[in-house]
Each structure stands twice: as structure tokens, then as C-alpha cells.
Amino acid sequence: MLPRDIDPVTFEVVRNALDTVVDEMALTILRTAYSGIVKDAMDFSTGFCTREGESIAMGVTIVFHVGSFPQAVRSILTKFTGRIYPGDIYIMNDPYTSGGIHLPDVYVIKPVFAEEELQGFSCTVAHQTDIGGIVPGSNSTNSREIYQEGLRIPTTKLYDRGQPNETMFDLLATNVRVPDHVLGDIRSQIAAANMGDRQYLKLVDRYGTSMVQQYTNALLHYSEQLVRNEIAGLPDGTYDFTHYIDGDNIDTGDVKIQVRMTVEGESMHVDFNGTSPQVKAGINSPMNFTESSVWGGVRQVMDVNIPNSSGSHHPITVTAPEASVVNPVNPAPCGARGIVGYRIMEAVFGCLAQIVPDRVPADGEGGNTIISIGGYDLDHRPFTYVDLFAGSRGGRPNGDGPQGASHPGGNSSNTPVEIAEVESPVRIEEYGILPDTGGPGKYRASQSIVRRVRLLENEAILQLRSDKRRNRAYGLNGGKSGDPSWNIVNPGRDDEYVVSPMGVTTMKQGDVIHHVLASGGGWGDPLDRDPLLVLEDVMEERLTIEYVRKEYGVVINEESMAVDEVATSTLRADRRAVSN
């Protein structure tokens, strides 16, 4: 499969060296970033692109991010043709001019030179704690145009031939609520981009520029051919799936994601015709983010050893109606666009479940919930608490949904309680799993996660991005749907009220936000679940005796805490007779 002039041993050395470069870049950010959302939740990514803008390595971070690097690099190549120099570093975030995916995700990219020629680009992107806009954290779901979402940065030189653009640094510091955190994270990205530059040049020093280019071109071809072979092994045909987002805060109601996947030979086409038009709410997904979501979803059912490069994307084409929620036009807001990205990937899974049912799990919690709490303390100093957490996955064809594992599109981490409480005026009063949740199935989903946060400061704005309260996670192969999400302010108090899945409200000192994460769906008929596994769930206090009798048809003796096999067999037989 490799060209005759490519030595397979050297190819593997170069391939793994490139992977090491981007992973070392990721570790640099992890070790030097300021904000919790970057250093703890790990909402950032690294990559390396060729001088033409093709990705040849992607770090072990956010799947949604890495497919967007080529377009960001091409914005540099387009705008600065003939003016790209050693020592330059570029910054951008705008979805409509610069290949950005939403304003909080800021790209810092450095061109790499050797022998006085451009060799490639060392790329980073990180979710900034704040980038301005109408709510702290800049993740507003209620924004109606992008001008409300914060500072738009067109493709700009942050460093010009090694000299910092102080005007750009001043603009950033002036337009964000927590400049120390934002500028600290930007400098962390600069350090990582410089790391990528140095490490790539070590590879060039060993093999020379022409040989490295020869092998990276082979890498692109190799990953493309492997993906083509994978697609060729799928049955030809057209497969449709429809998914929804709760639209409580949207004038037009629920958002529809319509996917049609066509497999033909060794290529695949994914079309979004029939998807909802763009909305006046901050969830629209820029086209390059939509493409990343599709590519990331399809890769989940392929060989994990396929190199992560742009070559793996070439056999998979994506089209979407202009001015739709998956291909918006200016000035559609995009601040919380991640929620559409998650639904895109899940709709792709819905198609793939029809093609390779033994490889696709049931639907999960819907990606990270984001709780943003921000305001000013009594000394008028700003604070912003941005919390990502997820981890209720759907049942799988070969086992239960993993507890605490992030959505495959996100791959981020929950914010540690201790870090949140040290860095922000909040107290985490509950964090755990909720019993009697998780979509029932032969292989059940993991349980919902509950998080309760109390505000300790005088007042703040609360912004929530969650989903799947009404349009719940789907089960597969007879598995049942997941449980709904909930956002309750001050539960059990006289002033208790419910906040919509995507909503904004205010908090005062002592107020509590109680969030229940949606759970995933089950895989397979719950009546086929091994009664001993059901008993184990009861013993671990995941499920109650009453719940498993109702959902699984399993009867457990409360005194002996053993399965009543006769009663279970009879109850399950009766249930099957009724369903048939």
C-alpha cells in the first residue's frame, strides 16, 4: 500500500515522531495553562499541518477541534500570501473570516521554516474562559447574532518576525473579563506552538526537508487509502437518520438534524438537506465544525490504527444547505455550537447503526453540560466559573455504557471539585451518580450524573448549556431511551424554579444550581439482561429492587438479596407474551 520508494520502517518512525510532536505540544499546554477549562477540563487541541494546510498529525485531545485546523491554516495562506516569515505567530477565532469554530476557541498557529523555506504549521486551539459578549464565559445560548458573543479576531499576526503585536495583546486584555487567565492561556498556546516548531525541526535535521515532505505525503496517501478500504467493506446504500435538540429558548422550537449517508464503493457522502435553518440562538455550527463532527463520527467505527491526518477525510464528503444550523452565514451566533456538533455525530452514529450494528453503541448523554457562573465580587473584580462535565454513555453491543467517559466528540475531562472551589466563589455540594437512571437494555447505559453548585459571591449570571430533557437519548436494538436532564435552581426551597435546558438566569448569594445530566440509552432488550448483572447493580446501589422489577423483569428477594429465578422467569415470560 505504501509507494515503492518509501521504506516502511522509516515511515513508521516519521509517523510516530509526528504524533509525538503534537502530543508534546498538548502536554505543554496542559502544564502551563492558567484556566481550569484548559488545564483541568482539557478543552484544547494541537496539530501539525503541511505548508499546503493538510493535517499530518493531531494531538490526543478534542475530536471536534482537529478537523478544523486545515481551514484555519488556509486562512493564513490566503490572507498573508508572500508575507509569511520566520518568527511569525498568527491568532484567529472568527467563524466567518478565519476558519474559526466559535469565538471562545482561539487558534494560535506558527509557521515552521527550515532552509529558509516554509515547511508547515504548528497549530493550537484552546477554549478561553472568556472572550467577552453578553454572558460571562461567552457561551450564550440566547445570543441572537454573533456580535453579542464577544471579540471577533480575524486572521492576524500575534508576532511579526519574532516581535509581539502589542496592540493585539491590549485588545484581548481590554475585551475579556478575566485577562490574566486568557492571556495566560494564550501564552501557553504560544509555548506549545514553539515546542512544535522545535520538535519538527529535529525531525528535519535527521532526515532533511525533502525526505520529510516525501514521507508526510505518503502518510496522507496511506491514511486515505486505509479509509477507502474500510468504506469499501461497508454495504452500498443510502441511510437516513433524524435527531433533535430541545428548542425551549428558540423562537422556531426544536432543532432538527437530518442526515443522509450514502455509501458507494470506497467513498461516502453525508448530506444535511432537511436540517433546520440557522436559528437566532447561539448554537449554529460553522461548516468546518460540522465536517469535523462527521469525520470524527465515521472514524469511530474504523480501525483505530489509521493515522490521524487529512488524508482520512478525503473519501468522506459533506454537504449542507447554506444558512442552515449546520452551515450558517453571518451574523448567525455560534457560541454554544458544540451542542449541534454532538447531535451531528450522534445522527451519524444513527446511520452507522443501520450499516454496522455490531460496532455502534446506543446514544449517550449528549456531550458536556456547560455551567457558566460569572459576575463581580464586592471589590468589582470579575470572576468566571466555567464547568464542563459529562459521562453517561449509552449501552454498547458488547457491554454496559462506561461511567464517567466523555462523549467521543469531546474527549474532555470533568473539572475537579477542589480546583473549582479554589479558583471561583462557588461550593460544589453534590457530585455523584443518580440511582435508577440509565437507559435499560441487555447492556444498560451508565447512570446520570448530578452536580450541585452554590454561589458564594453577592450575585452572578448563570448560563446553562444542556439538552435531552424532551428529546431523550435513543436506545438501539430494543434498548430503551435514556433519562432526561434537569436544571433546578434552589431545589426544595420556596423559591425553587426550573431552568430550560439552554437558558440564562441570575443568581444571588446562597443560590444553588442543581443539574442532572441526561443518561444514555440502552442496547438490546432489557428482558435479555443477565439477572446476575441486574443483582450486581442493585448491590452497588445503582438501581433499586423496585426499579429492576419494573424495567428488567428481575425479581430480587429483599431478605436474602438473591435473584428469585422462578419468579423472574415467570415475570419475563408474561412481559414477552404481552409485547408480542
Q: What order do you get walking across the sheet with 449-455 strand by strand?
A: 426-433, 449-455, 512-516, 486-489, 497-498
How many angstroms from the chain centroid is the CA of residue 269?
A: 22
Indicate if the alpha-carbon torsion angle 336, 341, 346, 350 is positive or negative: positive
Which residue is it, cell 436532564? 485
For residue 519 the three cell numbers come to: 443518561
Tell me whether the omega of the peptide bond preceding residue 382 falls within 30 degrees of 0, making it cis: no
DSSP letter at 161?
Answer: T
Distance (Å, rounded) from C-alpha 412 to C-alpha 38?
A: 9
pLDDT, residue 411, reads 77
C-alpha to C-alpha distances, 399 to 15, 280, 369, 522, 553, nearest whole angstrom: 33, 40, 25, 10, 19
Distance (Å, rounded) from C-alpha 32 to C-alpha 188?
A: 6
Q: Where are the beta strands (DSSP E) in 266-368?
A: 267-271, 316-319
Q: Spell out the per-residue pLDDT of the chain, length 580, in tens.
A: 787 789 999 999 999 999 999 999 999 999 999 998 899 888 999 999 999 999 999 987 788 887 899 999 999 999 999 999 999 999 999 999 999 999 999 999 999 999 889 999 999 999 999 999 999 999 889 999 999 999 999 999 999 999 999 999 999 999 999 999 999 999 999 999 999 999 999 999 999 999 999 999 999 999 999 999 999 999 999 999 999 999 998 999 999 999 999 999 999 999 999 999 999 999 999 999 999 999 999 999 999 999 989 999 999 999 999 999 999 999 999 999 999 999 999 999 999 999 999 999 999 999 999 999 999 998 999 999 998 888 999 999 999 999 999 899 887 777 889 989 998 999 999 999 999 999 999 999 999 999 999 999 999 999 999 999 999 999 999 999 999 999 999 999 999 999 999 989 999 999 999 999 999 999 999 999 999 999 999 999 999 999 999 999 999 999 999 999 999 999 999 999 988 7
Distance (Å, rounded) from C-alpha 315 to C-alpha 295?
A: 10
Distance (Å, rounded) from C-alpha 562 to C-alpha 535?
A: 7
pLDDT, residue 317, reads 98
pLDDT, residue 5, reads 86
Q: Where are the beta strands (DSSP E) in 40-130?
A: 44-50, 55-58, 89-92, 105-114, 117-127
Distance (Å, rounded) from C-alpha 343 to C-alpha 255?
A: 10
Which residue is it, cell 454513555? 393
pLDDT, residue 553, reads 98
The answer to whether 423 and 408 are in contact (CB under 8 A) is: no
Which residue is it, cell 527550515? 114
C-alpha to C-alpha distances, 571 to 162, 450, 477, nearest whole angstrom: 74, 32, 21
Q: Say which residues have a Cβ less than 8 Å from residue 235's Cβ, sequence separation at least 6.
A: 263, 355
Which neighbouring-strand residues pair with 117? 114
pLDDT, residue 410, reads 83
pLDDT, residue 184, reads 97
- Predicted structure pTM score: 0.96
Distance (Å, rounded) from C-alpha 489 to C-alpha 486?
A: 10
The SS3 assignment for 118 reads strand
